[in-house]
């Protein structure tokens, strides 16, 4: 653990009848002016998905979709955390209802997506970042595989730095400290690199299993939801508790199993995204350029506030009982209830 830092000015109202999510959401909204410069990060992450932006801007006249996104607290939310871009114009337009929960794993930093056909099918594809088309797995040769690996490494390093500055700087601003970009990069980038390596490793292990046993795809959603819940605190503990990767995974898991404030906070965040995503999806998938702009105006400030809310929540957990996050102490199981 690092030397003691000044306590955050997290909400003083600790009444047990108040939702921890609502308290910290109010605090994040109240500090929005101090955090305004961080809005550039979800904006950049949104625009970086060039094909998604192009399809959204050109999407008017092709109908709309209503999507319900499943999202526990995540280090970086952007517009695409609340909606998918319109499908390419290959079929007749028709309004639709999409409750696939496509938000899982779609946040920046996710690996190139893979998909397998249902039972009886034999098509396996890989969706490349920033490209509209999917490539059949059997078409990936040594050259393309090398390019994919290089892209994945570069993608991981880039977003590790972004996350370090975004979460680390936000934590410092909420504590009324200077952002200290260089210190954030030095302190947290390595931890996020390992974090992404774990996420990618799990993904790469799961793909061949799902290909060999397509029926297991039915279990993928509940398993992913449970994992997202148990470990959503990991990246936030890097910056709020100065936890190592091992410590952060252990503490997040124990917080998740214990439930309490961790569970209530996660469910409130989950419900917020679930309720807001249909509104944003209708605008973005059916409104063309105007819809994309409207969806961005709603989603990007909300993304910033939700991340700040989560940072504030974990700041409070650490401030209340720093020893609960210190591996060297004998109180490792004492966590906020």
How far is residue 77's CA from residue 106's CA, in Å, rounded to a whole number?
9
Task: Taking residues 187-207, report their average pLDDT.
Answer: 92
Coil, helix or strand at residue 137: helix
* Higher pLDDT, residue 79 or 327: 79
When pLDDT is averaged across residues 161-177 and rounded to a whole number, the result is 96
- pLDDT of the residue at 15: 56
Q: Provide mean pLDDT across the span 8-19.
A: 57
Interatomic CA distance for residues 266 and 71, integer angstroms? 9
Enter the DSSP assignment of 65: E
What pTM value is reported for the model? 0.80
Cβ neighbour number for residue 127 with a 10 Å cutoff: 14
Are the C-beta atoms of residues 328 and 317 closer than 8 Å to each other? no
CA distance 101 to 113: 15
If pLDDT is split at 50, 70 and 90, which confidence band does 206 have? confident
Lowest mean pLDDT across 11-15, 69-73, 214-218, 329-333: 329-333
Mean pLDDT, residues 200-208 taken together: 85
């Amino acid at each position: 653990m690092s030397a003691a830092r000044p306590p955050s000015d997290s909400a003083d109202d600790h009444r047990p009848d108040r939702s921890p999510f609502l308290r910290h959401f109010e605090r994040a909204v109240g500090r929005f002016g101090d955090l305004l410069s961080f809005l550039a990060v979800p904006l950049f992450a949104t625009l970086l998905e060039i094909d998604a932006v192009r399809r959204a801007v050109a999407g008017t006249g092709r109908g709309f979709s209503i999507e319900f996104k499943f999202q526990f607290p995540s280090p970086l939310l952007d517009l695409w955390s609340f909606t998918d871009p319109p499908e390419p114009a290959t079929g007749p337009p028709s309004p639709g209802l999409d409750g696939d929960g496509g938000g899982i794993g779609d946040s920046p930093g996710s690996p190139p997506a893979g998909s397998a056909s249902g039972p009886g099918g034999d098509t396996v594809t890989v969706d490349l970042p920033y490209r509209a088309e999917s490539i059949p797995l059997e078409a990936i040769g040594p050259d393309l595989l090398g390019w994919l690996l290089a892209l994945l490494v570069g993608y991981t390093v880039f977003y590790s730095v972004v996350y370090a500055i975004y979460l680390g700087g936000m934590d410092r601003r909420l504590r009324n400290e200077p952002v200290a970009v260089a210190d954030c990069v030095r302190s947290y980038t390595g931890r996020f690199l390992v974090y992404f390596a774990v996420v990618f490793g799990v993904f790469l292990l799961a793909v061949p299993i799902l290909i060999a046993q397509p029926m297991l795809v039915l279990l993928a959603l509940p398993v992913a939801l449970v994992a997202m819940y148990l470990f959503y605190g990991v990246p936030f503990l890097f910056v709020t508790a100065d936890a190592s990767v091992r410590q952060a995974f252990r503490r997040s898991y124990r917080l998740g199993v214990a439930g309490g404030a961790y569970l209530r906070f996660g469910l409130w965040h989950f419900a917020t995204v679930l309720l807001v995503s249909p509104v944003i999806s209708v605008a973005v998938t059916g409104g063309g350029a105007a819809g994309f702009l409207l969806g961005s105006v709603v989603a990007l400030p909300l993304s910033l506030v939700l991340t700040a809310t989560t940072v504030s929540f974990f700041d409070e957990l650490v401030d209340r009982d720093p020893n609960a996050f210190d591996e060297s102490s004998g109180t490792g199981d004492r966590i906020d209830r």
